[in-house]
A and B are shown apart, each in its own frame.
Chain A
Amino acid sequence: MNIRISNFIVRTLSMGLLMAVVGAGCDIIDIKDRPDPDNVSLDVIMNNPSRDEVSILATGTESGMRVDLRLYYIDVGMVGREIYRFLSAEPRFTGDLLGKANSELDDGSFYATRPWAAFYATIRNTNILMESAATSTALTDTEKNGVNGFGKTIKAYELLMALNLMNENGIRINVTDIFEPGPLVNKEDGFNTIATLLDEAATDLDNAGSAFSFKLSEGFQNLDTPQTFREFNRALAARVAVYRGNYSEALNHLQESFLDVNAPLTQGAYHIYSTAANDRLNEVYADPNASAGDSWVVHPSFVADAESGDQRVADKTLERDQNATLDGLSSDYGLYVYKTQTSPISIIRNEELILIRAEARIQTDDLTGGEDDLNVIRNAAGLPDYGGPGTKEALIDEMLRQRRYSLFAEGHRWIDMRRYNRLDELPIDRPGDNVWLSFPIPETENVNR
């Protein structure tokens, strides 16, 4: 054995090995710490973002408001006996949501967890937006006020959506910490927080100059400057005020909102949809004649209870070619509120504001003013002026009735009946069915274990 040869060979082979290893992977020993190749890192965006980065956060927030909204409309629409969502593959819609037999709302099921999670994901995005904008050297303080006014308004709206579902079970309001959410608060404290947030946002918007640093979608047409967005903010504040029974406060807010009896009832803020990349489609749209096993149909009482000549029935429902039957439920009418999968969904619009004013006026004993507002709505639906008794009670009935038809399938009926303690007036379709008062706080919030 010649040692020199073996040394030589060892050297040659070592070099060969080295090259082979280098060929197989650039870094032989050290590994690079690379970021997520697919998405934007939170750390990056939180640290002195550019104007563009703030802008895409704001747009993402608006976009995120639409996530799982379909489930919210199913929840509220079914418990409020406005619609049936028939899906043969999903028994829980016609079972749990209608309180069939002995079933309960399940705090682990998607109908409770997903809308809630989606609302709070948007809230997280508003927090990221506001916190990151605060560190940005690319924005002026005025522009930062605009970011805060937008962020807080959206945050308040999403909290309201969560509270609409959870009602007596309350919501979490302090969720800025990424790891530890604040305590669950009751309904009243929830409303307080939402109202306060909206007020703070209004103040921020007052000091936000004449234009936002970011763009809002066409869903906020005419509501996309700090001043006009504030009108949207005040509209939401009015809704919250009537939910809390603060009627005179509601009237004040309405004055600063975009309410206009001479404008189209459809004027307002919308979620818009498109087929463009990474955009969403209106998931509440469905072919009104879709087969029963996967259909959105109208609760029979909506058509049966309608005043004859009410155009809203013809506008929002379509008589099906074939009756739809599933799980002991049946309807002849398909849901036709949205005509295509890119039809916008209203966030709040003139029609509701007029109805809020009617409600607030009636409740503050301006019965004539209230009736006038109701007649605006009635006439728009092709109905003559209100001809019933002029008492407060009767007008409240009429107001709820007009809300039912004007805001059909937009998530109001259950909430309206609930705040007037009239859930027992909702129709029961099958013996043993229940009308729920509140949705359970999701299991994963760990409040019930």
Chain B
Amino acid sequence: MRLISYHGLAVLILLLVGQPALAQFTVEGTVVDEATKDPLIGVTVQDEFSKRGTATDQNGHFTLKLPGTDAVLKVSYIGYINKEVNVNTSTNRLVITLKQDIANLGEVVVSGLATTVKRSNLANSVATVSANELTGVSPAQTLDASLYGKIPGADISANSGAPGGGISVKLRGVTTINGSSEPLYIVDGIYMNNDAIGNGSDAVTDASAGGSSSNQEDPVNRIADLNPDDIESIEVLKGASAAAIYGQRASSGVVIITTKKGSSGEPKFKISQSLGFTELRKKLGARTFTQETAAATFGSTGEELFLDAVNSGRGFLDYEDLMYGQKGTLSRTQLSTSFGNEQTSFYLSGSLQNDDGIIKTTGYEKQSLRANVDHRFSQKFDVSVSSNYIHSQSFRGLTNNDNTGSTFGVSMLATPNFIDLRPNEDGIYPNHPFNSSNQLQLRDLFSNGEEVNRVLSSIKANYNIFQTDNSVLAFKFTGGLDFFSQDNKLIFPRELQFEAASGAPGTLIETKTDNLNTNTSALLVHTYTATDKLSLVSQVGYTSFNNDQNSILTVANDLLGRQTNVDQSASVAVNQTKIFQRDRGFFVQEEVNYDDTYILTLGLRGDKSDRNGDVNKIYAYPKASFAWNVTNTDLIKSDDIDNLKLRVAYGQTGNVSNFGAKFTTLAPSNIGGLGGILIRNQRGVPGIKPERQIELEGGFDASIFNGFASLEFTVYHKKIKDMLLQREVEPSTGFIYENFNAGSMVNDGVEVGLNLLPVNTENFRWNAHINFWRNKSKVTSLPVAPFDVQGFSTSLGVYRIQEGQSATQIVGIDPIIVNNDNIGQFPDAAVGDTVIGNRRLGDGAPDFQISFSNEFRILKNFDLSFLLHWKKGGDVINLTELLSDLLGTSPDYDDTDLSVSPLRMATAGIEPGDNNATRRLKLVGVSTAKMVQDASYLRLREIGLYYHVPVSSMQRLFGNTISHIKIGASATNLLTFTPYKSYDPEVSNFGNQPIAQGIEVAPYPSSKQYYFHLSVDF
């Protein structure tokens, strides 16, 4: 390169203008599938040297102008093995065949903060989910819901059936007891906030009054905002060995999301529309009453109302139908376009989603706009900008635990089918005779809205500082920004039954939360090809992460008429919560690749954070990994084995404490107009430090019989030490709990992925993916007494952390024999003198999970896909059933088929003639066993059938204007088989929890969805 001037401006111009034009030539060609000979659409064809590239059109055709006289074209397409093709001025009418890559060996996977490695050289088990796998079969409502069954090692569970999200994603078992168990989501370099911020409904439901302080407000975790249709691919770093380079934010894994990018060439548009409906997945049924049982359960009032139902001819009402019977419409529209030239490319998209729930007045809507721009200033300097604006609104009703009888769920349980809660001709709702709230009135008159405005933006810059034939030094910068404003507003008008009865009728609850995340990373990457076999990639870098969140909760009581401003009330209470986080990290990494056969990586990350007691202390997290491609050596000489790689990886990550763990403070507590401060429940720990996860994983990847099958097998052992625990302290100290670092636990797991291509012919192709994964956790050291992390009380079942036990064990009470040979035992058959003791009654973690997905392409134009997901084991504490027993409405109340062991029967004084509800109620205070229920399931998660209109008919009909039309129908959660007795085996009263996911108290019931789809490319 020749320099004209040293002046900075000139350099800038130089950067912008790029290389002067030299000789050029044009290559034309077609890319087709090797087996079916079908043209492949959208294949990337790029010259690695000049970085010029294009994508194939609907006929699989491409044209590319290249500088110089020869070039090597890299042809890449998701799901196919990449190919490099030499071209020169004399090349013409090139036909490139690509082979389906069922092991995805050619896929590029993240290996550092800004570096990637081919999957065939990867030393970790990194799961990837492509756009097609994500949303191609049947769309889920939110991004997290579309990951079910697609990531081996992930335990994904919905907290309720409410529209708009609220889903827990846990990678490789229990990563923490008290820290955050949600993975770090990085979207185009943005550390995307995934907080779940409550709506403040506790002010009405008083859910925490019974002693449980956790969030029971069924919040949405904010990753739900991201539009799944914009996503190109997702890479999942499941444990410390893969995620160590992300340091103290990566203990629960990292989910790296890349959104779609523009491609150069003529503008391409895609418009897709899905329409569908949703309905209640399963009805529980209702208790059948007689005059006697109505009188026995609901007294004289009950008897009168029963007789009224019979004599008036009204009969019995189906409240599940009245309340949960809405067939909600679902609609989503996605419009995207991609265009550009050799320097600049754009991807623009807009989407609209509007979903109703199965409860009238509930629903979810979202609008999203995205612009991704990539610009190449020169061969050396390129910049990518991604920006996304999201607006979402959800109306989730009022469900979950409640101590005032106000919620939909509890009201429903208090409603026998002989009463009539419907409004009269004047629209006046009767009071619920047996409950403080008429759920039909509440549903129709109250409102629980959540509105989010969110902006995500990132910039990535890449500059090659110098470049020689065998060495490149690149500077890479990433800056990310995520701002959202969440506004929750609950309006409980004065005329609601429980409001009218209260001393200050009418309640408004308004929560406004602003959250800003910013992150940067800057690194130098040096790639050095020492010999034709040995290459080295070195990197050194810096990262920063800042978070500020400010939340103001305002509760207004005694509303003035129908006003909905918080100041239009007789009393107002305000609570402001601010949290912040500053993290700084530093890292170095070295990758050594010898002939794509031996690949060694060493790295070290150092992190500090103001969540730690010592804010400037640096905690170090090392990593090391090694992959050995055996098939590249002479050791294996079998034609049946296409590829065999052995790999082992080790790494450490951290997890910082929750905000405020180090503070001992006093909070406002006023009286009669005087200001006061009162000690808070938390005893601060000044020396709090991050917990540390140490993971070792190993395994092999093999593909055999010329692409017929590929197998990925991984075992891992991870240890978490210096755990961030929250323990209840002796309340006589004046405090309730504190955080502390202590103890350790281990997780051992196996992940097996098998991809099969049993049939691959022109008219029929069958692709199958089978994933199996299991994880066992065990608390190996706990230097304090066992403690409960969640639950209402031991008699109602708790998740108890106890040395030597699974971290997710459920403990309850049960009779323990004290006077015979079986002292201390719990034999189900023996009867003896007993005391009521504590006993392990279940485990929240599944034994294993299997997902089985199949794709069939039939007669070239039909695609049939389905995904089966089996979760074996994993228990849930079902308190909905207990409430329905207490309230006298259990569907099986009067049945007598509930089996109870003789010991429990004797201890609880159960008579053989007692009905089921009486049996269960007599067991309250004696045994928790019947509340802990198996929540295994086998679920047909997704099924979809699509028809691609053949190119020939399209050309006949529309000429060349339309390149692709796809129509289809799909369903999610179509079938579920489970022994669990309530609405859904996936449920969590306390929202996303590291341990205690499965506790159920009258949730929003789950639903299934049916869709019709049409998409057109032009």
Contacts A40-B666, A278-B573 given: A125-B584 contact, CB under 8 Å? no
A276 within 8 A of B: yes
Contacts A102-B925, A294-B405, A444-B731 given: A60-B669 contact, CB under 8 Å? yes
- How far in angstroms is the closest Cβ of chain B from A84? 14
B902 within 8 A of A: no
A27 within 8 A of B: yes
Please measure, in the bound complex, the distance between the C-alpha atom of A4 and the C-alpha atom of B2, giving whole angstroms: 12
Contacts A31-B615, A42-B665, A113-B731 given: A100-B670 contact, CB under 8 Å? no
Contacts A1-B468, A276-B673, A278-B668 given: A291-B405 contact, CB under 8 Å? yes
A318 within 8 A of B: no
Asked if B836 contacts A442 (CB within 8 A), the reply is no
B609 within 8 A of A: yes
Asked if A108 contacts B732 (CB within 8 A), the reply is no
- How far in angstroms is the closest Cβ of chain A from B524? 10
Pick from B433, B666, B668, B925: contact of A42, CB under 8 Å: B666
A322 within 8 A of B: yes
Asked if B670 contacts A103 (CB within 8 A), the reply is no
Asked if A20 contacts B479 (CB within 8 A), the reply is yes
Pick from A33, A106, A446: contact of B785, CB under 8 Å: A446
Pick from A12, A64, A172: contact of B11, CB under 8 Å: A12
Contacts A108-B794, A294-B404 given: A125-B503 contact, CB under 8 Å? no
Contacts A104-B836, A278-B669 given: A432-B582 contact, CB under 8 Å? no
Please measure, in the bound complex, the distance between the C-alpha atom of A120 and the C-alpha atom of B681, giving whole angstroms: 11
Asked if A102 contacts B926 (CB within 8 A), the reply is yes
Please measure, in the bound complex, the distance between the C-alpha atom of A323 and the C-alpha atom of B33, giving whole angstroms: 78
A67-106 near B? 1/0 per residue, CB < 8 Å: 1000000000000000000011111100110001111101
Question: Which A residues lie within 8 Å of B669 (CB)?
Answer: 59-60, 63-64, 67, 278
B674 within 8 A of A: yes
Please measure, in the bound complex, the distance between the C-alpha atom of A101 and the C-alpha atom of B475, giving whole angstroms: 74
Give the interface centre of A27, A56, A172, A323 by most chain B CB atoms within 10 Å.
A56
Give the interface centre of B557, B584, B882 by most chain A CB atoms within 10 Å.
B584
Please measure, in the bound complex, the distance between the C-alpha atom of A442 and the C-alpha atom of B11, giving whole angstroms: 74
Question: Which A residues lie within 8 Å of B583 (CB)?
Answer: 31
- How far in angstroms is the closest Cβ of chain B from A244? 22
Please measure, in the bound complex, the distance between the C-alpha atom of A323 and the C-alpha atom of B883, giving whole angstroms: 21
Binds A, one of B47-55, B88-96, B217-225, B298-306: B298-306
B427 within 8 A of A: no
A263 within 8 A of B: no
Pick from B436, B558, B665, B672: contact of A290, CB under 8 Å: B436
- How far in angstroms is the closest Cβ of chain B from A280? 8
Contacts A39-B667, A128-B679 given: A32-B610 contact, CB under 8 Å? yes
- How far in angstroms is the closest Cβ of chain B from A82? 21
A277 within 8 A of B: yes
Question: Which B residues lie within 8 Å of A89 (CB)?
Answer: 401-405, 410, 883
Please measure, in the bound complex, the distance between the C-alpha atom of A341 and the C-alpha atom of B580, giving whole angstroms: 37
Asked if B670 contacts A277 (CB within 8 A), the reply is yes
Contacts A1-B468, A17-B477, A109-B211 given: A41-B663 contact, CB under 8 Å? yes
Please measure, in the bound complex, the distance between the C-alpha atom of A431 and the C-alpha atom of B680, giving whole angstroms: 43
Pick from A108, A180, A218, A285: contact of B672, CB under 8 Å: A218
Question: Which B residues lie within 8 Å of A37 (CB)?
Answer: 578-580
Contacts A30-B616, A37-B578 given: A110-B300 contact, CB under 8 Å? no
Asked if A446 contacts B503 (CB within 8 A), the reply is no
Give the interface centre of A101, A102, A330, A432 by most chain B CB atoms within 10 Å.
A102
19 A-B contacts (beta carbon < 8 Å):
A5-B3, A17-B522, A27-B582, A28-B584, A34-B580, A36-B665, A59-B676, A88-B414, A89-B410, A108-B793, A108-B795, A121-B679, A123-B734, A125-B666, A172-B732, A178-B683, A276-B670, A289-B501, A291-B434
Residues on B facing A (Cβ under 8 Å) = 1, 3, 6, 8, 11, 209-211, 298-301, 401-405, 410, 413-414, 431-436, 463, 465-468, 475, 477, 479, 497-498, 501-504, 518-520, 522, 542, 544, 546, 557-558, 570-574, 576-580, 582-584, 608-610, 615-616, 660, 663-681, 683-684, 728-736, 785, 787-788, 793-795, 798, 813, 836, 882-883, 886-887, 907-909, 922, 924-926
In the complex, the 10 A-B pairs of residues with the closest C-beta atoms, listed nearest first: A124-B734, A103-B925, A110-B211, A59-B676, A275-B571, A60-B676, A39-B665, A117-B731, A217-B672, A341-B503
Extra A-B contacts (5), CB below 8 Å, given A42-B664, A88-B405: A5-B3, A5-B11, A108-B794, A287-B503, A341-B503
